[in-house]
Amino acid sequence: MSTFQIAIDGPVAAGKGTVARLVASRLGFLYVDTGAMYRMTAFLAIQKNEILESEDRLVELVEAATMQMRNPLDSEKDGRLTTVILDDEDVSWKIRTEQVSQGASKVAQYPKVRAALVKQQQNIAQTQDVVMEGRDITFRVLPEAQLKIYLNASDIVRAKRRFLELQTRGEDAHLDDVYKDLLERDHRDMNRSVDPLHITEDAWVLDTSDLSIDQVVNLIEARVRMIKEHGGK
């Protein structure tokens, strides 16, 4: 393998995006938010008033769209973890609503949609060192990654994180509703028929409930350097 790949899986609000972005910045890797691709798919369907249950139509939307991601430019550092471009439009924040979040979880259940997006993700990882996070990275997208991590936190900690995120963006949210939605999304992600979220045998399970972001990033950075010292790229 000519590139170094860090694969991170875990449930919603476990801190994957923030941690992955900071690790990538520390190491000089590209941060790839695969969840943004599913969000873009849901966003497209919602904008075009398409039915989220129409798998073939969703694939058509994906194949006709131009999906791009990059590390934020200086002028784009407004709290986003990555800049997401859909058909030449910056949709970085438009795809972060609760409606799109729920839609993304639904479209991710379809095998044809996942196959179309996984191919794009694998192509990215073949060209440069990456930190890639999502819900099927360690076993489907990057099964040969040098470092596989399952990032987790307790249900209530994750719900509080998600609630704070929504409040910070000015969205009307209630903790009880956020907690319920989180559990429902966990159930869908872990029980979908194709590539359900799970912990692989070779994954490093890292619980972030009682750790600061810096502590988590430091632990991962140290693990990467150890792997490289023992024969990794």
Residue-wise pLDDT for 102-129, tens only, equals 999 899 889 999 999 998 889 888 888 9
What was the pLDDT predicted at 81? 80
**Is 232 within the bounds of a domain?**
no
Asked if the model's pLDDT at residue 10 lies above 80, the reply is: yes
Whether 102 is covered by a domain: the verdict is: yes
- Give the separation between CA 207 and CA 209, rounded to whole angstroms: 6
Task: Kindly tell me if the per-residue pLDDT of 70 is higher than 90.
Answer: no
| Predicted confidence (pLDDT) at residue 220 exceeds the cutoff of 70 | yes
Is 82 part of any domain? yes
Classify residue 180: in a domain, yes or no.
yes
pLDDT surpasses 70 at 143:
yes
For residue 227, count other CB atoms closer than 10 A to its CB: 15
Q: Specify if 233 maps to a domain.
A: no
| Count of C-beta atoms within a 10 Å radius of residue 84 | 24
Of the candidates 45, 135, 44, 131, the residue with the CA atom closest to the CA atom of residue 91: 44
Question: Is the Cβ–Cβ distance between 42 and 126 less than 8 Å?
Answer: no
User: What is the per-residue pLDDT across 79-103, written as a single tens digit (0 to 9) for each?
Assistant: 888 899 999 999 999 999 989 999 9
Examine residue 157 and state whether it is found in any structural domain, yes or no.
yes
Calpha distance 126→5 (Å, rounded): 9
Confirm whether 168 is domain-assigned.
Answer: yes
Please give the structure tokens belonging to residue 215: 């502590």
The CATH number that applies at residue 146 is 3.40.50.300
Q: What confidence score (pLDDT) does residue 98 get?
A: 87
Structural domain tally of the chain? 1
* Residue numbers of the domain that contains 210: 5-226
Q: pLDDT digit string (tens) for 148-183?
A: 999 999 999 999 999 998 998 888 899 999 999 999
What's residue 169's pLDDT?
A: 83
Kindly state whether residue 231 falls inside one of the protein's structural domains: no
